[in-house]
Structure 1
Amino acid sequence: MTTYAVGDLQGCLDPLLCLLDEVDFKPGRDRLWLVGDLVNRGPQSLETLEFLYHNRTSITAVLGNHDLHLLAHAHGYRKASRGDTLAPILASPRRAELLGWLRTLPLVHWDEAIGYGMVHAGIPPQWSLKQALKRSAEVSAALQDDSRLEQYLANMYGNEPRRWDDNLKGMERLRLITNYCTRMRFCSAQGELELSNKGDPRNGPEGYRPWFEFYLENPNNPPLIFGHWAALDGETRSQKVIGLDTGCVWGNRMTLLCLDDGRRWQCHCSSG
């Protein structure tokens, strides 16, 4: 079995299929990790979700902000945004099973045998990966509980609170966990979020740094793969934190990484 990881799909199925064909990926034999943002903005959101669901026994995925946006929109708590390509999913006769599968996906994943963790956006300085997994489980519990799902989706959006406190409770706690794991790019050494800047990590806002710089300062942190930050173009200057969002949906490239030996493949995308 070979394990691969791929950057943000965002509804771009053709370049994914191109990459999987290039490495002779076989469902049932091999495994594919996905760093979130499975759908939206690309031209094949429904087809992408159907492909992943069909091969779900060979898939390991975490949720990204666009995947949560789909769930919020489907439940009436978020209006369609400009550029959304989610309508075919919402009109599909398989809508319930596809969205039901999304609800089972976590925010953070760890595989001890492979030795990698995975998150869509990042992990704040004050959390270990073990703590991140526990907090991911808190959000998963809300997503998978029909009696709590509506409250979570109705209150998921917002930029406050900006800094973690172990005493946070209720939706403030879940919102911040969600923002760290699916929206974060820059933060302070104390874990305070700065969510307005999406650009070059070398020119971040004063007092803030790319989250992964803090992650790298802790020698006990294991290797971690992530997506979300297309402006990085995959450059973190470290093999311990690996960015896989190389901006496919913007007309750049999709990147596939072999977690077993570090080889990479790329396919250009024409959907941007």
Structure 2
Amino acid sequence: MATYAVGDIQGCFASLQALLEKCSFSPEFDRLWLVGDLVNRGPRSLETLRFVKGLGDRAVTVLGNHDLSLLMTAEGFGKRHRSDTVDDILAAPDRDELLHWLRHQRLMHVQGDYAMVHAGLLPAWSVAEARTLAGEVEQALQAENYREFLANMWGSEPGAWDSSLTGWPRLRVIVNAMTRMRFCSPAGEMDFKAKGELSQAPAGYLPWFEVPGRRSAATVLVTGHWSALGLRLEPNLLALDSGCLWGGKLSALRLEDRALFQVDCAADEAVPLFKE
């Protein structure tokens, strides 16, 4: 059995199929780890959701910001972006079943020496603490009153973690760190405006994974989210968003031996680069 960790798909279903063929992925024997952002901006989000859901326990998925945005949109919350491509999901006959499945996916997955999260972890969090905090968000998403959480989930404040936080602000910080963060200060203050390369870090901020003393540094973190960062394979960081949606590559890493597999974005799936 092999485990393939796959970068952000974002509705690039043809690219995903080509990548799995290149990996010789067997749904009977192998497992996929998907770093989030299954949907949106690419042209085939509905097919992507149906395929991953159909894999059952052969696929482990963590939620990304676009997946959470879809859940918000489906309930009438948040703002639609002009480049969103989720209408096919919202109009699908199996819409409710798909959204229910998505709402029950994890925010963070920990197994052995690896932890998978879409964006990153704040420097003050150990992996064990982060997994517990992710569970708070998962519980809110799966509760009977989940719509109330979705109505209060989005926003960039508070911008830093404080263990005394309660209610929606507490859950919002957890969501923002695990699905939106790129840069943060040594004190753990997050910046959500800078989305470019490392050289474009705001003054006083660092890539979250370079903050000195980061408590999760002893665990290998598997992430996506940051296409401008590109593929980055380090002893304790496997950043797998290689910008497929923007005409780059879709990447998979076999965790057992770190063998890398990549395919070019399918010709009909790449979209022009734009500011989110």
* Length-normalised TM-score, structure 1: 0.95
Residue aligned with 2:32, SS: strand
Q: Which residue number corresponds to residue 122 of structure 2?
A: 124
- What count of residue pairs does the alignment treat as equivalent? 268
Letter in 1 for 2:103: R
Contact 1:32 1:58 in 2 (8 A): yes
Q: Which residue number corresponds to residue 159 of structure 2?
A: 162
Contact 1:187 1:194 in 2 (8 A): yes
Letter in 1 for 2:245: V
Q: Which residue number corresponds to residue 169 of structure 2?
A: 172
Contact 1:8 1:36 in 2 (8 A): yes
Deviations 1:188-215 (CA, angstroms, capped at 9, x unpaired): 1111001100011133001000001127
Distance 1:119 1:109 in 2: 7
Contact 2:123 2:214 in 1 (8 A): no
Distance 1:220 1:8 in 2: 23
Residue aligned with 1:70, SS: helix
- Give the superposition deviation at 1:217: 5.1
| Unmatched 5+ stretches in structure 2 | 271-276
Q: Which residue number corresponds to residue 196 of structure 1?
A: 193
- Give the superposition deviation at 1:80: 2.3
Q: Which residue number corresponds to residue 18 of structure 1?
A: 18
Residue aligned with 1:257, SS: strand
- Give the superposition deviation at 1:220: 5.6
* Length-normalised TM-score, structure 2: 0.94
- Give the superposition deviation at 1:28: 2.5
Distance 2:50 2:93 in 1: 12
Q: Which residue number corresponds to residue 261 of structure 1?
A: 257
Q: Which residue number corresponds to residue 181 of structure 1?
A: 178
Q: Which residue number corresponds to residue 27 of structure 2?
A: 27
| Unmatched 5+ stretches in structure 1 | none
Indicate yes or no: 2:64 matched with 1:61.
no
**Deviation beyond 3 Å, 4+ runs, structure 1:** 215-220
Q: Which residue number corresponds to residue 146 of structure 1?
A: 144
Over the residues paired in the alignment, what is the CA RMSD in angstroms?
1.3
Contact 1:216 1:241 in 2 (8 A): no
